Chain A
Amino acid sequence: QKEVEQNSGPLSVPEGAIASLNCTYSDRGSQSFFWYRQYSGKSPELIMFIYSNGDKEDGRFTAQLNKASQYVSLLIRDSQPSDSATYLCAVTGRRALTFGSGTRLQVQP
């Protein structure tokens, strides 16, 4: 079992729709959870971080955390073509971040 699992996609949504990205993790001791966006050929860009169970909203982005289910999600409202990228879920491990392999999101104009 991978430590952080994501569906590789591609996840295709029409412009203006809600994109829902999911992530599960194996280490119950993990305490911090992050979503990064990575455009092709570029470096990861931090979008959201969440530490507590529940929802955290920032603009069009909402991160959701359920520690009992070991599940983290990212919702992108009013998706735009510029949101097309790979979204990486990251979880704090013993010392550094453990990344999922990413979900590729395609927003169709």
Chain B
Amino acid sequence: NAGVMQNPRHLVRRRGQEARLRCSPMKGHSHVYWYRQLPEEGLKFMVYLQKENIIDESGMPKERFSAEFPKEGPSILRIQQVVRGDSAAYFCASSPQGGLYEQYFGPGTRLTVT
């Protein structure tokens, strides 16, 4: 599968638990972006990473959210102490280069907080 992979596809967490979302970029892509889409709303940028570096996290909430893209393995978006307002679809996209180039999206992780 040469596309962007995300898992899990669906994740249910109770309030206060932690959510970990994983993203493996397309082969040959080293730039990863995370977006969040709330129900009936548009896509909002959260964070942009390259291997071992956070390039831009200007869209990330200041608390409870963190992201990493280690040298080996997938990119991880971590949400601590989830609240109901975190329920959304979280999409990962990858790009062969940053900046102006097209981004390809994974299938998303749908997080439900109960």
Q: Check A96 against B56 for contact (C-beta < 8 Å).
A: yes
Q: Check A46 against B42 for contact (C-beta < 8 Å).
A: no
Q: How far is the CB of B84 from chain A (nearest CB, A)?
A: 20
Given that A43-B107, A95-B55, A101-B41 are known contacts, is A32 also in contact with B101, CB under 8 Å in the complex? yes
Given that A34-B102, A46-B102, A46-B104 are known contacts, is A95 also in contact with B41, CB under 8 Å in the complex? no
Q: How far is the CB of A20 from chain B (nearest CB, A)?
A: 20
A45-64 vs B, Cβ < 8 Å mask (1 yes, 0 no): 11001010000000000000
A25-55 vs B, Cβ < 8 Å mask (1 yes, 0 no): 0000001101010000011111001010000
A85-100 vs B, Cβ < 8 Å mask (1 yes, 0 no): 0001000111111111
A8-32 vs B, Cβ < 8 Å mask (1 yes, 0 no): 0000000000000000000000011
Bound Cα distance from A31 to B58, whole angstroms: 20
Q: How far is the CB of B48 from chain A (nearest CB, A)?
A: 5
Residues of A within 8 A of B103 (CB): 34, 46, 96-97
Q: Check A96 against B48 for contact (C-beta < 8 Å).
A: yes
Bound Cα distance from A96 to B41, whole angstroms: 18
B28-47 vs A, Cβ < 8 Å mask (1 yes, 0 no): 00000101000001111100
Tell me if B2 counts as interface (CB < 8 A to partner A): no
**Chain B residue at smallest Cβ distance from A95:** B56
Given that A96-B45, A96-B48 are known contacts, is A44 also in contact with B100, CB under 8 Å in the complex? no
Top 10 A-B pairs, shortest CB-CB distance: A95-B56, A101-B42, A32-B100, A99-B43, A96-B45, A43-B105, A44-B105, A43-B108, A49-B102, A99-B42
Give 23 pairs: A residue, B residue, CB < 8 Å, sorted on A.
A42-B107, A43-B106, A43-B107, A43-B108, A44-B43, A45-B105, A46-B102, A46-B104, A46-B105, A88-B43, A92-B99, A93-B45, A94-B58, A95-B48, A95-B55, A96-B48, A96-B56, A96-B59, A99-B35, A99-B43, A99-B44, A101-B41, A101-B42
